[in-house]
Structure 1
Amino acid sequence: MAAVPGSLRCLVRLLLMASFVLLQALSAHAITRHYKFNVIMRNVTRLCSTKPILTVNGKFPGPTLYAREDDNVLVKVVNHVTHNVTIHWHGVRQIRTGWSDGPAYITQCPIQPGTSFLYNFTVTGQRGTLLWHAHINWLRATVHGAIVILPKLGVPYPFPTPHKEVVVVLGEWWKADTEVVINQAMQQGVGPNVSDSHTINGHPGPLSDCASSQDGFKLNVENGKTYMLRIINAALNDDLFFKIAGHKFTVVEVDAVYTKPFKTATLLITPGQTTNVLLTADRTAGRYLLSVSPFMDAPVQVDNKTGTATLHYANTISATAPLTLIKPPPQNATTIVSKFVESLRSLNSEEYPANVPLTVDHSLVFTVGVGVNPCAKCINATRLVGTINNVTFIMPSTPILQAHYYNIPGVFTDDFPATPPHKFNYTGSGPKNLQTMKGTRVYRLPYNASVQVVLQDTGIISPESHPIHLHGFNFFVVGNGVGNYNPKTSPSTFNLIDPIERNTIGVPTGGWAAIRFRADNPGVWFMHCHFEVHTSWGLKMVFVVDNGKRPDETLIPPPKDLPQC
């Protein structure tokens, strides 16, 4: 082969380098990812019984949606069942795209049987694990799945790269139709029946009553390798503990936000929350039990069944090798929960800073709990209701986002109280009058306002933890405590340096949590308890964030195929 002149070699090298840089730029550029969700009925066997359930693409849990940071995502949802449906992309901020957020009658009319809707959103500045689920009635019991948002190409994790990543979805299973369960409870004015089992990736596991026919989920590992578990609590009504016998976790992310790593043997995940952990397979062989069990430190009935699965080392001789068991935490293990929550801190690095609002434009105090209203046709002539600041939210028949965008009168009022209308010992025995106000009330915020919300649990019926989820925003949990929030002394305990950033927070039983966020996303944003029973009872409210002055601070127009009521 003839020699190549030096000048030509330089030119070829420059062209190759330019091509490589161009390929890198193209590969790192955000793309549009297309998905199709067919909502169908499917027969599924769990707990020795077979029943038809709503599923997406015939899967339970549903398919995992994969994207990269800043990708545009298009999901066409086609309704093939007799129920109205919507899909909520839990934790996706939906910057200016509230039309795709999903809560029925808040941002959209439901997708009616035989019709479809194209959800169109961009995962702006987010990476990590989130979830999607139905957001109407109790359909999210089976209509749910994972969202995995990978970092941009070439951007590493801020922790050692795992050998493999595994999605783990925790849930609940009812033998009965969940729509029948909640409808009967609403008619009677009482609490609904609890679930019959907890599940791991859709199975109650090898220790269930149906162990012979349901081996359950199996996590295969190799000795010496590290795995990242992307764990999601998709349960309707239970805070959940998660453990693996003989192993510890390193927590590296919650709610798609990187954390300062810390080790723990027990995870606490409330409904709607996600937690990413590193698990090192540091045993030589064997089978080890995974367990999911409820946390409830109040006199409230929950499903006390423990869901299980197995971790199986590759060099274990037989699938029937002895199984190392584990004892789940006590159901009321408040100390374990407090230690876990207090260990959570934002990474707060140069690349991933914790931009906590240091000043507050709107300082709000919201009491959250359960009350009692009269109901002539109900058992005991009373109805259990959910309440925020003594308001039981009434769902409108016209979506609030449409009413806001088109200035439709009579759908809502913007007089949601900024503080409790009645002052009392919130964590004590409660006031004599347990009745709440009803209304479709919203709290209006100007664009880019800094907001602090103190979420105060109440003991009107019984003090109870409440997983509060805010749509459209992440928030910083700057403080929490036991008892009543004291506006004079409690702020002195706030962490304004590296508080954890989340989209769902468990308000402690008989206590309070303070969150801060910046209202930099115009639109209509739901805030509600992620215990589905409490949402059904009215423990919910809405923030309306006005447009800013610039085009990029303005809600985009509605899509042409937006469902009609």
Structure 2
Amino acid sequence: MASGDQIPLLAAALLCALLAADSAVVERTFHVGNLTVSPLCERRVITAVNGKLPGPTIRAREGDTLLVLVVNHSPYGITIHWHGVFQKQSGWADGPSMITQCPIRPGGSYAYRFNVSGQEGTLWWHAHASFLRATVHGALIIRPRNRSFPFRTPHRQVPILLGEWWNADVVDLEKQAFLTGGGIVNVSDAFTINGKPGELYPRCKNHTYKLEVVSGETYLLRIINSALHSQLFFKIAGHSFTVVAVDASYTKPYDTDVVVIAAGQTVDALMVANAPSSRYYMAARPYFSSAGGPPSFDNTTATAIVRYADADDDAPPWMPRMPALNDTPTAHRFYTNLTGLRRPGAPAVPLEVEEHMFVTVGLGVLACEPTQVVCNRSRGTLGASMNNVSFRFPTAMSLLEAHFRGFHAEYQSDFPDRPPAMFDFTNNSLNTDPRLAPLLRTQRGTKVKRLKYNATVEMVLQNTAFIGAENHPLHLHGFNFFVLAQGFGNYNATTARSGFNLVDPQVRNTIGVPAGGWAVIRFVADNPGVWIMHCHLEQHVPLGLATVFVVENGTTPDSVLPPPPPDFPAC
């Protein structure tokens, strides 16, 4: 008979066995190929998944295993990233091109297999090669295992994917920008809500998404910003929200009438259909945070219609009053008022830190590449960097494979913990100070930061004002992180640390580093493999705004990176 001390252990083991037995394998097939659409009354051929824009929503439960076979019928090399999935012991399925894998060649296929244990909420998937994620993306919804939310059960759950549309081939746009334009991409022609731009653009058939609601019911809106280059304000006329999660991490309920969402982020918001029976616009328009940067941007507004079941269809929809395009106080208030929901068993903020990093983030000047058709050889071209290193992606082998096989010549393990010099990072006159000219020019390199398994990392992310200061949404693959603090100006450790939230900070995988400001994040490197951290404003990635963490193996079988699967794509 078991002793009293053994009974809790036996009960825990039995519970784990029951949960494991209750998990499932969710199998899907993604056919990537051409799709003809006409969002703005002009027929365009795009790259899409399973003939849909957005692509198919994947629904799973916490603990399930996903097996997604991607078959590439397109003319481009393709990868799929499962944005926000930890990929514990499945780093080969993470997806960023030339970081964890080589692209799936046209005519080829690759089966992504990974587990979603310990995660629930709204994530998403998207292409991670070229600008293809503009049209190759979709929702990934992980429901609680016990079907119980830490908030009132909604009547319905609705994915809301906010996107960006060009009346042009996005691959051609990227080529043009980086061969002749120094990395400046033409502004988009429209924003979209669930693939449709809405009624404020040229009117076409079936160009507006419609959500029908029942008076008195509660709806969980799973909002995803899949736009390439834009942060967005999101509102619904006559209604307010209660934010209950961000980036698939629960928050304390936060009441607001506006959601602010950076590229790559997700927000779960409850909406009660408690307005008079009518039709209401939901609207998304950009939050333009740049100061001193390129002046052109898409200042249009996407709309969809929330229609009450018994509403008069002849009544014009009500339009919400949207924030100003540059309403930074509203954006900052939303981002900083969110706090994490403390739940039993959830990770606490680690208090001891082994790795301290101070990382500058921003634009700069790079030497011209030989492939650039138009480039001023003396002045250089637009670049971006972290700690003055513009990340150069490898071309012959992915970094994960190089790391696994011990081919260390493919990268350098000397990404700096600090910038070359400390200065007034947010001074708009930096460009005219000849003493800082060396800091304006960044250097290309495939530099990584090596981390011991289970090391705690604290990063101060400091925006710079070279060329232009803007909010950079930085996404870390393979991990969630605690957002301890964020603010404007130059980071001051003495004053900032007194305001660190070490009790209930919000937990994210993508942080919008304020324009002309800073943010402090902390995470535990408990996931062996190779993980990129990059700006989710897509044009900044080929400019070099990225770095990579190489996390070493631990000492137990579940802390060791396994070998690649047999169908792993070759370069």
Q: TM-score, normalised by structure 2?
A: 0.92
Aligned residue for 2:421? 422
- Counterparts of 1:218 and 1:330, CA distance in 2: 25
- Counterparts of 1:448 and 1:374, CA distance in 2: 38
Aligned residue for 2:560? 554
For the 8 Å contact 2:177–2:185, the answer to whether it is kept is yes
In structure 2, relative to structure 1, the CA distance for the partners of 1:27 and 1:411 (3 Å cut) is closer
For the 8 Å contact 1:190–1:379, the answer to whether it is kept is no
For the 8 Å contact 1:206–1:214, the answer to whether it is kept is no
Residue 314 (structure 2) pairs with residue 320 (structure 1):
yes
For the 8 Å contact 2:287–2:325, the answer to whether it is kept is yes
Residue 405 (structure 2) pairs with residue 406 (structure 1):
yes
Q: Aligned residues, how many?
A: 540
Give how far 1:297 is off: 2.5
Residue 260 (structure 2) pairs with residue 268 (structure 1):
yes
In structure 2, relative to structure 1, the CA distance for the partners of 1:310 and 1:73 (3 Å cut) is same
Deviation sequence 1:129-188 (CA, Å, 0-9, x none): 000000001010000000000110x34100000011111100000001111111111012
In structure 2, relative to structure 1, the CA distance for the partners of 1:215 and 1:563 (3 Å cut) is closer
- Counterparts of 1:207 and 1:473, CA distance in 2: 39
Residue 445 (structure 2) pairs with residue 439 (structure 1):
yes
Q: What is the identity, as a one-letter code, of the residue corresponding to 1:336?
A: T
- Counterparts of 1:178 and 1:303, CA distance in 2: 16
Residue 337 (structure 2) pairs with residue 343 (structure 1):
yes
Aligned residue for 1:5? none
Deviation sequence 1:186-218 (CA, Å, 0-9, x none): 012141101110000001102212x24344100
- Counterparts of 1:215 and 1:551, CA distance in 2: 52
Give how far 1:289 is off: 0.7
Residue 42 (structure 2) pairs with residue 49 (structure 1):
yes
Give how far 1:449 is off: 0.2
For the 8 Å contact 1:104–1:136, the answer to whether it is kept is yes
Aligned residue for 1:525? 531
Which secondary structure state, in structure 1, belongs to the residue aligned with residue 336 of structure 2?
Answer: helix
- 1:337-486 equivalences under 5 Å are 337-350=331-344, 353-375=346-368, 377-381=373-377, 382-397=380-395, 398-428=397-427, 429-430=429-430, 431-433=436-438, 434-486=440-492
- Counterparts of 1:26 and 1:330, CA distance in 2: 48
Q: What is the identity, as a one-letter code, of the residue corresponding to 2:307?
A: H
- Counterparts of 1:404 and 1:28, CA distance in 2: 35
Q: What is the identity, as a one-letter code, of the residue corresponding to 1:165?
A: Q
In structure 2, relative to structure 1, the CA distance for the partners of 1:511 and 1:560 (3 Å cut) is same
Segments of 5+ residues of structure 2 without an aligned counterpart are 1-13, 431-435
- Counterparts of 1:105 and 1:27, CA distance in 2: 34
Q: What is the identity, as a one-letter code, of the residue corresponding to 1:46?
A: P
Aligned match for 1:193, one of 170, 177, 186: 186
Q: What is the identity, as a one-letter code, of the residue corresponding to 1:172?
A: E
Aligned residue for 1:100? 93
Deviation sequence 1:248-292 (CA, Å, 0-9, x none): 001001100110001101100111100011100002310001100
Q: What is the identity, as a one-letter code, of the residue corresponding to 2:321?
A: K
Q: What is the identity, as a one-letter code, of the residue corresponding to 1:305?
A: T
In structure 2, relative to structure 1, the CA distance for the partners of 1:366 and 1:26 (3 Å cut) is closer
Aligned residue for 1:158? 150
Give how far 1:487 is off: 2.6
Which secondary structure state, in structure 1, belongs to the residue aligned with residue 178 of structure 2?
Answer: helix
Q: What is the identity, as a one-letter code, of the residue corresponding to 1:412?
A: Y
- Counterparts of 1:158 and 1:172, CA distance in 2: 32
- 1:326-337 equivalences under 5 Å are 326-337=320-331
Aligned match for 1:184, one of 154, 176, 187: 176
- Counterparts of 1:283 and 1:192, CA distance in 2: 41
- 1:53-72 equivalences under 5 Å are 53-72=46-65
Give how far 1:28 is off: 6.8
Aligned match for 2:541, one of 535, 546, 556: 535
- Counterparts of 2:60 and 2:343, CA distance in 1: 24
- Counterparts of 2:75 and 2:179, CA distance in 1: 22
Deviation sequence 1:461-517 (CA, Å, 0-9, x none): 111110000000000000111111123332111110000000000000000000000
Which secondary structure state, in structure 1, belongs to the residue aligned with residue 298 of structure 2?
Answer: coil
- Counterparts of 1:410 and 1:354, CA distance in 2: 36
Aligned residue for 1:509? 515
Deviation sequence 1:295-316 (CA, Å, 0-9, x none): 0122443211100011000011
Aligned residue for 2:208? 216
- Counterparts of 2:374 and 2:241, CA distance in 1: 47
- Counterparts of 2:366 and 2:108, CA distance in 1: 38
- Counterparts of 1:527 and 1:26, CA distance in 2: 33
Deviation sequence 1:349-388 (CA, Å, 0-9, x none): 335x351111110000110000012338534443101100
Aligned residue for 1:84? 77
Aligned residue for 2:4? none
Q: What is the identity, as a one-letter code, of the residue corresponding to 2:196?
A: H
Which secondary structure state, in structure 2, belongs to the residue aligned with residue 432 of structure 1?
Answer: helix
Aligned residue for 2:29? 36
- Counterparts of 2:374 and 2:361, CA distance in 1: 23
Aligned match for 1:499, one of 490, 505, 525: 505
Q: What is the identity, as a one-letter code, of the residue corresponding to 1:432?
A: A
In structure 2, relative to structure 1, the CA distance for the partners of 1:545 and 1:190 (3 Å cut) is closer
- Counterparts of 2:491 and 2:215, CA distance in 1: 48
Deviation sequence 1:403-437 (CA, Å, 0-9, x none): 10000132001000011112221111332232111
- Counterparts of 2:522 and 2:508, CA distance in 1: 10
- Counterparts of 1:422 and 1:181, CA distance in 2: 36
Structure ID, larger Rg: 1
For the 8 Å contact 2:336–2:486, the answer to whether it is kept is no
- 1:240-251 equivalences under 5 Å are 240-251=232-243
- 1:102-181 equivalences under 5 Å are 102-152=95-145, 154-181=146-173
Give how far 1:557 is off: 1.2
Aligned residue for 2:10? none
- Counterparts of 1:217 and 1:145, CA distance in 2: 16
Which secondary structure state, in structure 1, belongs to the residue aligned with residue 470 of structure 2?
Answer: coil
Identity %: 49
Deviation sequence 1:422-462 (CA, Å, 0-9, x none): 22211113322321111100000000000001110000111
- 1:243-322 equivalences under 5 Å are 243-299=235-291, 300=294, 301-317=296-312, 319-322=313-316
For the 8 Å contact 1:367–1:389, the answer to whether it is kept is yes
Which secondary structure state, in structure 2, belongs to the residue aligned with residue 450 of structure 1?
Answer: strand
In structure 2, relative to structure 1, the CA distance for the partners of 1:212 and 1:78 (3 Å cut) is closer
- Counterparts of 1:201 and 1:128, CA distance in 2: 19
Aligned match for 1:228, one of 202, 220, 226: 220
For the 8 Å contact 1:87–1:133, the answer to whether it is kept is yes
For the 8 Å contact 2:484–2:500, the answer to whether it is kept is yes
